[in-house]
Amino acid sequence: MGEGEVERAKVRAKPILRMGIFLISHSSYVSVICLIAAVVALLLLPVLAKNTYISENALMPGSANNMLSTQDASEANKLVNDLTHLGLRSPIESQKIVGQYMSGLDAEVTYHKFYPQLNWFHSLHFFTSPDSGISSKTMNCSSPAINTVGIIRAPRGDGKEAIVLVTPYNPEKNNVGEALSLGIAYSVFSLLSRVTWLAKDIVWLVADSRYGEYSAVDAWLREYHDPVYGVDMVDSETCNMSNTTNALEQKLYVDKKFYSGFRRAGTMAAALVIKVVEDGNHFEDSLNIYAEASNGQMPNLDLINIVNYLAVHKQGLRIKVKKIWSLLGSRWLNTLGVIFESVGQIARSLNPQWKFGIPASEYVEGTATLASSLYYQGLGVPTGPHGAFRDYQVDAITLEISPKVSLTKMIRRNDFILRGGRLIEGVVRSINNLLEKFHQSFFLYLLTSPSKFVSVGVYMIPFALLVAPLPLVAASLHADTSKSTMPQTTGVDVSRKSWKWLNSAQKVFVIHLWGVVVTLLPYFICRIPYSTPTTNFTLWGLLSAFSLLILYWILGSSVFEASTSQPQKREWASLKSVTITAAFIGLSLMSVINFATAQIGALFIIPICLMARPLKLDALARSLGTLLRASFNLVLGFIAFPPVAYVLLKVAFDDVDGFNVGEYWNWLESLWAWNSATYLYIGIIHLPCWALCIHILFHPC
């Protein structure tokens, strides 16, 4: 390349370089513009939501007439009556009745025994397959729970695929709603045992939920996918099984149609959890859909779409998804909806093809639903037993059906079972048509209503605008620090001073190591016997603060200070630059694992990262602007503290009256138990960045 070509290449690169220099030099204005744009884009998401559609043509929901008859519903009602008339007898009696009804359909019936596991912090296995082993230390040696499983082999299948129906049932409570859910599942199970079009095996799991719905399903899935041979021997040695337990097992297997071993079907194509509850709505039958799993995982949108289509257009059910009810009566949100509706009307008057804006009432409801979807995905905890299936990459949802008539005074029970059964029949028939797993539609989305969604390409825009200022501000701070500390000498001194930022990088690295220590402390604290969640949280806070004081003392030593006799006045700016860089990297990585956690975390941590400035400098300036900035920084620092942020989210979204610090510990335990990446984000990314920002606020300068 000649000199002329080199000069032309430099000229072509100048506009890009100039733009970069301009953005860095005006990073403060760019930050304000990006943050305002991010908030506006976040509020516009309900307006930008699209109608759902079925991407996989093979599903063909509603293309066939329902085959479930009133006779099937009547037979299912007999099962409901048999279960409700048992009263508070031995739980084994209800399980025997369910097993007998299954075997009457020539299904393969087996019982799966499992012991409940304590919700303790256990060894780390995040982002790996679920732990197939059963630890004797975390096993609760109470009476074992027993799942009842029935399997129908598909006449047109090869045994390689299966559809799972799950009905949680607590035999000790004898709840009418749970009995009705068994009735709906039995009506469908009875029909599927006779049809000739079935191409996938059907597995009906009656999950013993006396120790929790999730734990029952999770225990069965562990045994299904990762069997542990000799587990009965381990259980008997660990829990010292009594003769009473053995006698109960013998009663279950009196009928020769029952199988004593664990039975399996093919690879699970999808799973449906069926529940019946009474929510006090006496106007129409309704259906609630729960889809969130751990780490914000969602099932394929097509699974929700076919349920929504069949429930609305075939069974006349009202579909509901979770909402933040406190937002529905918000005046400011309604005002915002009116503004967007007016803007949409003006846009359509200018060009009828511009379909911008929705009615204000629809905007408020869409925002409440979107906030709920973002909140529950961000918490990282499943909203139902369907969450256990996502750990094995199986698409699953929980269908919660609520009748318009009281469960205890239901005269038209057969009609309710018939409608619920035909809904499940239609969903099973659509899934049965699939030749491969769900893959056509979205896996990354946020719901604004049962029939509207925001795709990943749209909801990433607010997050991108939130994190965009971080590298610009970091570069601007680094450039300003380099200019202010530029020595009058040249040579070796200049080279040494140019690497001054490594001192700040060391501090940031050590504080993040402290975050790792804080993250692992609960593993040892929970071993303390007879401790309460409040005690554990208090001890955790004291140990974390003590370890931070030790590290703070180390940071003040000569190991981390190059020149203690002449402290750098702009050292805080270099530290802030590296802190912002660490926050940017952490949030970007978290957005790949769980976008909702990254989005909520960014709303809390980015403002304090950008605004952090030593309070001493603002106090010395003695102006109204600097005092307001100092006050604002203190408020942001308080809000960004993880336990405080958790309380604010609970109060804003869950509408709770009181709060106990032990609840935060219980939530962290649940995050750990479900291998949620939200736990790692809080301890390794959010908490260290918050601590560094607080350090900057109280920097001695």
Do 445 and 524 fall within a single domain?
no
In a domain, 128, yes or no: no
State whether 528 and 640 are in the same domain.
yes
- Facing residues of 274 across strands? 399
> How far is the C-alpha of 287 from the C-alpha of 362, rounded, in Å?
19
Residues 6+ apart with CB under 8 A from 701: 569, 572, 614, 616, 617
CA–CA dist 545, 517 (Å, integer): 11
Q: What is the pLDDT of residue 496?
A: 52
Provide the whole-model pTM. Answer: 0.85
Assigned domain for 46 exists: no
Average pLDDT value over all residues in the chain: 82
- Radius of gyration of the chain from its Cα atoms, rounded to whole angstroms: 30
Residue 187 lies in a domain: yes
Given a cut of 60, whether residue 251 has pLDDT beyond it is: no
Q: Is the pLDDT of residue 9 over 60?
A: no
Tell me, yes or no, whether 84 and 167 share the same domain. yes
Which of 131-135, 263-267, 491-495, 616-620 is least confident?
131-135
Give the pLDDT confidence score for residue 123 in this predicted structure. 45
Identify whether 34 is part of a domain. Answer: no
**Cβ neighbours of residue 696 closer than 8 Å, sequence gap 6 or more:** 572, 575, 576, 579, 612, 613, 614
Residue written as token pair 């990297």: 585
| pLDDT at site 236 | 43
Q: What DSSP designation does 653 have?
A: I
Q: Count other Cβ atoms within 10 Å, centred on residue 476.
A: 22
**pLDDT tens track for 273-291:** 999 987 665 577 889 999 9
Q: Is residue 680 part of a domain?
A: yes
- How many Å apart are CA 429 and CA 442, to the nearest integer? 21
For the chain, percent of residues with pLDDT exceeding 70:
81
Largest CA distance in the chain: 96
Residue 652 belongs to a domain: yes
Total domains, the chain: 3
Looking at residue 656, its pLDDT comes to: 61
Are 104 and 76 members of one domain? yes
The whole-angstrom separation of Cα 61 and Cα 43 is 34
Amino acid (one-letter) located at 651:
V
The domain of 351 spans: 324-380
Residue ending a domain, among 334, 359, 380, is 380
Give which of 650, 585, 648, 596 is closest to 45, Cα–Cα.
596
Domain boundary among the residues 352, 380, 408 is at 380
Same domain for 395 and 358: no
Neighbours of 354 (CB within 10 A): 12
User: CA-to-CA distance for 563 and 492, rounded, in angstroms?
Assistant: 17
- CATH number for the domain spanning 256: value is 3.40.630.10
315 lies in the same domain as 328: no
Question: Are residues 537 and 417 both part of a single domain?
Answer: no
Question: Is 27 a domain residue?
Answer: no
Between these two residues, 233 and 614, which has the higher pLDDT value?
614
- Of 123, 143, 441, 151, nearest in space to 307 by CA: 441
The one-letter amino acid code at 91 reads: P
Rounded distance between C-alpha atoms, residue 589 and residue 684, angstroms: 12
Separation CA 600–CA 191 (nearest Å): 46
Q: Which residues pair with 270 in a beta bridge?
A: 163
Same domain? For 427 and 551 the reply is no
The reply to whether 485 falls in a domain is no
Q: 3-class SS at 354?
A: coil
Please indicate, yes or no, whether residues 551 and 630 belong to a single structural domain of this protein.
Answer: yes
- Residues 644 and 693 occupy one common structural domain: yes
Domain limit, last residue, from 394, 425, 450 = 450
- Can you tell me the distance from the alpha carbon of 268 to that of 392, in angstroms, rounded to the nearest whole number? 9
Shared domain check, 369 and 351: yes
Q: What is the pLDDT of residues 528-586, one digit of tens each?
A: 888 888 898 899 999 998 988 887 777 655 444 444 333 455 788 889 999 999 999 99
The yes-or-no verdict on residue 463 having pLDDT over 90 is yes
Same domain, 582 and 650: yes
The most confident of the ranges 20-24, 349-353, 454-458, 549-553 is 454-458
> What was the pLDDT predicted at 210?
86
pLDDT tens digits, 360-388:
889 999 999 999 999 889 888 888 899 99
